Structure 1
C-alpha cells in the first residue's frame, strides 16, 4: 500500500493547522466562519450575564451552522470537524484571532 492511499493522521495542532487553512481558502467561507465564531463568543459571554444558559447551546449550534454552510456551499468540502473535532475547534479560534490581528484576510 502506498503512502498516497493512507489518509494522513494529524498528531499535533501544528501539523493540522496548514491542512485547516487549505480547507478554508474561499473568502465567503472564511467570512461565515468569522461571523459564526464571533456570534458564538457574544452568546457565550451573554449567557452568564443574563442567566439564559440555553444560549450556550445556541452558540454551539449557530457557530457550526455558519461554518458548515461555508464548507458545503462555498468550499465544497467536508468540515474537518467530523475527523478532528478538537483540532478543528482550535483552528476556528486561531483563524478568528488571525483575522482580528490582520494576519489573515477576510
Structure 2
C-alpha cells in the first residue's frame, strides 16, 4: 500500500490547466506557488513564503505575461533567497522605487 503523504504535490498544475482555469479561486502548484483567478477572470501568480518568520504573499505577475515555468523558477529563487536570510519582498519594492538612468539624468 503506497500512500501519498504530501498535502499538495509539487508541480500539480499544467500549462493547459492554467489556460483552462476560469472558476474564481486559488489553484495550487506546490511549494507555496498558486494561480489566483479573480471574479472577472483575471489570473495572476502568487507565492506564499515565510520571510524571517512571517508568512508573506508575493505577486509574481499576470499569468498572461508569466508562464508556469517562469513562475516556478521565480518562486524557487525567492525561496532560496529567503532561506539564505534575504527578503525578496523588500528587494522587489526597492527595485520598483529605484531611479532609472533617464530619471536621474534630469
TM-score by structure 1 length?
Answer: 0.25
Which structure has more relative contact order (CA 8 Å, sep 6+)? It is 1
- More helix by percentage: 1
TM-score by structure 2 length?
Answer: 0.25
- More strand by percentage: 2
Larger Rg: 2
